[in-house]
């Protein structure tokens, strides 16, 4: 074909420019954002992840939690996330700058977890119960158990560990034994407890403003 090379170069240049634009656009949106210093409290937001929470992020990634859970609260008018109490506001790009890899997910077989630590029931005890025996704290849930993150061990007459899960009924271990979290479970729970984007950045507040009503609309 006479103009084959020209067409090939044109297609290649188009794809290259599009790809570069996608990367540069994302970098401009997120990569250059600094932490915001609260002028009154003098705190930096978002706060960096603690060491164990950052390791828990890797456990979250390794277990594929993003397969069933997203981490992005949609703005009012773009879904029912706010009505579901999944967050007090839509997610901002600045919320994610502390994470080396953003586990935003794409499927919602379970609830969005971006602000799970801000919910009234959120506690380390609740999350351990949810991971070991989901039905023990959330009856009717479709969440699979992650018992491999816990160790069932015999007490042999010794005192129970302060880390032992408080389980009752059919979920309780056999008499004389206890269920304790492994380090991976503790790290994962620390990460879940870090998912709390409640600071309302002044520069981004407008993103959550209600959409203006259309003139002549009903």
Distance CA 7, CA 121 (A): 59
* pLDDT for the residue 218: 42
Q: Per residue in 52-69, pLDDT tens? A: 999 999 999 999 999 999
Does the pLDDT value for residue 211 go beyond 80?
no
Confidence band for 157, pLDDT divided at 50, 70 and 90: confident
* pLDDT for the residue 15: 80
Distance CA 13, CA 62 (A): 37
Lowest-pLDDT range of 117-121, 133-137, 198-202, 208-212? 208-212
Domain boundaries, the chain: 36-207
Chain-centre distance of CA 160, in angstroms? 32
Distance CA 129, CA 136 (A): 7
Q: Per residue in 81-103, pLDDT tens? A: 988 899 888 998 889 988 888 89
Confidence band for 111, pLDDT divided at 50, 70 and 90: very high
Tell the CATH topology of 36-207.
Cytochrome Bc1 Complex; Chain D, domain 2 (1.10.760)
Q: Which residue has the higher pLDDT, 20 or 81?
A: 81
For residue 179, give the 3-state DSSP assignment: strand
Chain-centre distance of CA 78, in angstroms? 19
């Amino acid at each position: 074909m006479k103009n084959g090379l020209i067409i090939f170069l044109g297609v290649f240049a188009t794809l290259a420019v599009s790809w570069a634009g996608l990367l540069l656009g994302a970098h401009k949106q997120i990569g250059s954002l600094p932490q915001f210093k609260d002028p009154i409290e003098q705190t930096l937001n978002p706060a960096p992840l603690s060491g164990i929470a950052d390791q828990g992020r890797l456990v979250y990634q390794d277990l594929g939690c993003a397969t069933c859970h997203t981490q992005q609260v949609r703005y009012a008018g773009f879904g029912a996330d706010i009505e579901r109490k999944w967050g007090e506001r839509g997610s901002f790009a600045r919320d994610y700058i502390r994470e080396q890899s953003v586990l935003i997910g794409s499927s919602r077989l379970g609830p969005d977890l971006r602000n799970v630590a801000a919910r009234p029931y959120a506690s380390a005890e609740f999350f351990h119960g949810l991971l070991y025996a989901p039905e023990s704290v959330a009856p009717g849930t479709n969440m699979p158990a992650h018992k491999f993150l816990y160790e069932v061990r015999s007490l042999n007459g010794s005192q129970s560990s302060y880390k032992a899960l408080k389980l009752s009924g059919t979920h309780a271990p056999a008499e004389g034994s206890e269920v304790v979290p492994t380090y991976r479970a503790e790290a994962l729970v620390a990460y879940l407890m870090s998912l709390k984007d409640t600071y309302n950045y002044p520069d981004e507040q407008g993103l959550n403003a209600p959409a203006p009503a259309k003139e002549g609309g009903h």
